[in-house]
Structure 1
Amino acid sequence: MAERKSAGYGEGDAGGAIKPAERIVETARRLFCRDGIHATGIDRILAEAGTAKMTLYNQFGSKEGLIETVLRRESDDWCAWFAAALRAAGPTPRERLDGVFPALRDWFAQGDYRGCAIMNAVAEYPKGDPVIHAIAMEHKAKVGAILMALIVQAGCRRPDELLGEMAILIDGAIIAALIAGEPTAAPAAAEAAGRIARLVIADHCADAHHHGPHRS
């Protein structure tokens, strides 16, 4: 799980003048990121957030409810960051598609990158958890919708096939960067996946103008 501030998508802060429930969420995000979901107990979250146990149960019902809230927040924030990063990559859909892996490279280069929050949560529940599985599928759909809009606008052929190929390259780069560990080594995963992606995108967009038929 990547903390919002260090991952480059938000300004998470477990302290400051924020409501107790929000402090719980932000503290849980930080601890889940650093130590994992299973290894982080409720008492530790409450102690570091400086809030009462009753607040947690009133707001989230249980640790499971808090986990769901944290993961949905992570998904929303990551997708908002990703969409903004692609918009900044250029004015045309094709340029924005080409900007996917440079955006990931910037994320991986953060000093305490720890992978994708959603993928990490799925890995912590190898026997499956219906809520976490649902959140993972929702996250996949949101990321897919961002990419598919650009793929269609760029006039790429076989858009579903291209989306599937891009998704595999993105997931592979995220995992490879996590395994690499060192901030100086992790960006190479995005660069390698990006080289492959450019070939794949060019193949699907061979009959389209480089900048695509529409501007957005």
Structure 2
Amino acid sequence: MSDSPIAEATAPRLSPRDRLIDSARALFCRYGINSVGVDAIIEHAGTAKTTLYKLFGSKDGLVEAVLEREGAEWRSWFLDSIDGPGGSARDRLGRIGPALHDWFTRPDFYGCPFINAVGESDKADDRMRKLAIAHKTVVIDRLTALCTEAGIKEPTEIAHTLGLVIDGAIVMALVTRDAGAADVAGRACAAILPR
């Protein structure tokens, strides 16, 4: 990768929408949604406030766009991490812990943005909860399919239990800053899967 001005000039420039989403994602994940104001986002993105409101309608609209993109990218990465190398369904389920470990050791690991968003939101407002459930449903559906393929009885119940372990490991890693939470999760997942 080059740091030359020519390389920068020829690199594709992100659209204002993408810059706003990327900036908001970086700021929300690190500092929290409620801690970051619109002014900080537009300064980071190099856009005008009117652009944010024109594209997203409000900060809440931007939050939803960030969660949608972050969720899609994370699901794609996570599911590829467990499915990509192939193998049996049990082999793929056995990759949950190592995939989490890879994520937890990244310098930009700040926990699950959906868990964080629900934690920060008004508990009487279901908007963030619905977005989180939609995200987690995709993951649980894939885990259920793998459990079914592996011939596990009650695959939906086992998949939900695996999901609970995953979420617990994410929170543990966020709080303790210890990627070893993924190793604990891997062992727990292995213990949950019937022989």
Residues 113-124 of structure 1: matches in 2 within 5 Å? 113-124=109-120
Residues 46-195 of structure 1: matches in 2 within 5 Å? 46-181=42-177, 186-195=178-187
Secondary structure, in 3 states, of the residue corresponding to 1:144? helix
Structure 2 CA distance, aligned partners of 1:155 and 1:51? 53
Structure 2 CA distance, aligned partners of 1:88 and 1:20? 33
Indicate if the aligned counterparts of 1:25 and 1:70 stay in contact, CA closer than 8 A.
yes
Which letter maps to 2:184? A
Structure with higher RCO (Cα < 8 A, 6+ apart): 1
- The answer to which of 37-46 and 84-93 deviates more is 84-93
Which letter maps to 1:65? G
Q: Encode CA deviations 1:158-213: one digit per residue, 9 max, x unaligned.
A: 112211210111111001101112xxxx2211111211211111x2xx3xxxxxxx
Q: Encode CA deviations 1:50-85: one digit per residue, 9 max, x unaligned.
A: 111121111100001000100111111111111110
| TM-superposed deviation, 1:94 | 1.1
| TM-superposed deviation, 1:140 | 1.4
Structure 2 CA distance, aligned partners of 1:56 and 1:154? 47
Structure 2 CA distance, aligned partners of 1:116 and 1:193? 15
CA RMSD of aligned residues (A): 1.5
Structure 2 portions without partners, runs of 5+ = 1-10
Corresponding position of 2:21: 25
Secondary structure, in 3 states, of the residue corresponding to 1:127? coil
| TM-superposed deviation, 1:147 | 0.8
TM-score after normalising by structure 1: 0.82
Structure 1 CA distance, aligned partners of 2:62 and 2:90? 39
Q: Which of the residues 177, 190, 195 maps onto 1:198? A: 190
Cα distance, 1:32–1:16 mapped onto 2, change above 3 Å: farther
TM-score after normalising by structure 2: 0.90
Which letter maps to 2:162? M
| TM-superposed deviation, 1:112 | 3.3
Secondary structure, in 3 states, of the residue corresponding to 2:78? helix
Secondary structure, in 3 states, of the residue corresponding to 1:68? helix
In proportion to residue count, which structure has more helix? 2
